[in-house]
């Protein structure tokens, strides 16, 4: 992957997409070397999947397919109060990742994979 920030040249960056069936609506994007505690961004799996077809997202994460500067990539724009970063990922890698998540949890079946009792316990701090 490559990252671009304002006023700097694009630079290669270690990054990884993650999916966990216990959090079926979300994907995680880890940026940076694992030894250096990577930065984690969590956003909707549907946002990533839709972003393969058309520009989508509002707020902190936007996904844009086949950006004109990088026609074989998907651009993910991450925004925070500190600024913004543009992440370009090979479209084939994002599509393969999305396909694997769908094979694990087909869209529309996410609620079948939620552990509501565990989620409530985490929210309330109970350890029953």
Q: For residue 13, how far is the Cα from the chain centroid?
A: 15
pLDDT of 100 above 90: yes
Residues contacting residue 101 through CB under 8 Å, at least 6 positions apart: 19, 27, 45
The C-alpha angle 49, 29, 106, rounded to 5 degrees, equals 35
pLDDT of 126 above 70: yes
Is residue 75 within 8 A of residue 91, CB to CB? The reply is no
pLDDT, one tens digit per residue, over 28-75 is 999 876 667 888 899 999 999 999 999 999 889 999 997 676 678 899
Find the length of the chain.
Answer: 128
pLDDT of 93 above 90: yes
What's the pLDDT at 35?
Answer: 67
């Amino acid at each position: 992957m490559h990252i671009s920030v304002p006023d700097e040249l694009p630079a290669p960056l270690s990054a990884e997409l993650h999916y966990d069936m216990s959090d079926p609506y979300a994907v995680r994007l880890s940026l940076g070397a694992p030894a250096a505690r990577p930065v984690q961004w969590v956003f909707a799996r549907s946002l990533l999947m839709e972003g393969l077809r058309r520009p989508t997202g509002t707020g902190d994460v936007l996904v844009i397919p086949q950006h004109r500067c990088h026609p074989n990539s998907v651009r993910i724009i991450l925004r925070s109060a500190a600024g913004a970063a543009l992440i370009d990922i090979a479209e084939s890698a994002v599509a393969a990742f999305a396909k694997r998540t769908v094979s694990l949890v087909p869209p529309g079946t996410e609620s079948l994979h939620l552990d509501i009792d565990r989620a409530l316990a985490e929210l309330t701090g109970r350890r029953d």
